[in-house]
A = this chain, B = another copy of it.
Amino acid sequence: MLNVGVIGCGGMGRDHIKRVTERVQGAQVVAVSDLFEEGAKKAAAIAGEGCKVYNNGKDLINDPDVDAVMIISPGFAHVDDLLEAIKVGKRVFCEKPLCTTAEDCQKVMDAEVASGKHLIQLGFMRRYHKGYQQIKEAIATGEYGEPLMMHCTHRNPEVGTNYDTPMAVTDTVIHEIDLCHWMVGDDYDTVQVIMPKVTKYSHPALKDPQFMILKTKSGVTIDVECFVNCKFGYDINCEVVCEDGALKMGTPMAPSIRKSAQASTEITTDCFVLFKDAYDQEVQNWVDRAADGVIEGPNTWDGYLAAVTADALVAAQTSGQIEKVNTVEKPEFYK
């Protein structure tokens, strides 16, 4: 049984506590922490009797009853708790982003490398979505040759006025940034953002849709349509074009309905419905591999790469140019 401490008791934190408590095998939440005591207590109640309550991450991390830590606090608060966890050598599940700046990401990466232990898994849950896994497995068979291109869409029904142009990168395409380099097994070289005609459903601070292009070091070219006011649904698509075949991600099982002169299938409008199983499985996988100290999911390098790539994309949003993704060389440790 893995005794887990959870830092950050907002909505997402409480979701994870519920997940570990009710659906994940082999783990239990033994401690929670939050700046707001009320929130922490409420969250502890989900975990059940005996769950300790802290008002800061450091104490929770250092509690000898805590085997492993989940960091679900706001992104800016991650860096200190990550470094503390590395210092004491505790396994971490950290919601994305790793940190909010590339510098902080690198600091964490350096610390982990120095520690010599793989400790951190990042919450890019989509890697655990069946659709992506099926494509990844198909590529791995070798039957389709080398991937050359990927076409992706990331469509949301709508966003609020607090969602601005850079968030298309940092909140939305950040998922494709992680997924696509994982799918093709390569890191990024350059990125570009093209701004199409703007939908009437957008607002002044948001250019929507956006069309982003990422090129990997080996030349795989990935395009992502990011359209967050598409109105019709939460619509995720991905096609990998290889030398010997093209692989399009399947759609979730749904009835085909004949009615009103149409054959139709539902498109979900809720990303949490679409990725429910993926959320459960990323945490289950993190728990399962605890015994042998392995991180199978997205790791610190992936978090660092995502941060640097996102910075380049945000720069490309205003420059209109092809921007270089300037990472340090990938440490041996993560190969």
Contact = CB atoms under 8 A, between A and B. Distances in A.
A137 B209 CA distance: 23
A209 B221 CA distance: 10
A161 interface: no
Contacts of A253: 130-131, 134, 250-253
Given A196-B148, A211-B149, A265-B250, A231 B257 contact: no
A241 B216 CA distance: 26
A233 B258 contact: yes
Contacts of A225: 149, 151, 241
Interface stretch (A39-47, A61-69, A138-146): A138-146
Contact of A200 (B146, B223, B235): B146
Interface residues of A, number: 70
A200 to B, nearest CB: 6
A222 to B, nearest CB: 9
Contacts of A131: 253, 255
A58 interface: no
B232 A258 contact: yes
Contact of A243 (B22, B145, B199): B199
Given A151-B151, A197-B219, A213-B194, A245 B258 contact: yes
A138 B257 CA distance: 9
Contact of A146 (B144, B197, B221, B256): B197
A283 interface: no
A274 B203 CA distance: 43
Contacts of A265: 250, 262-264
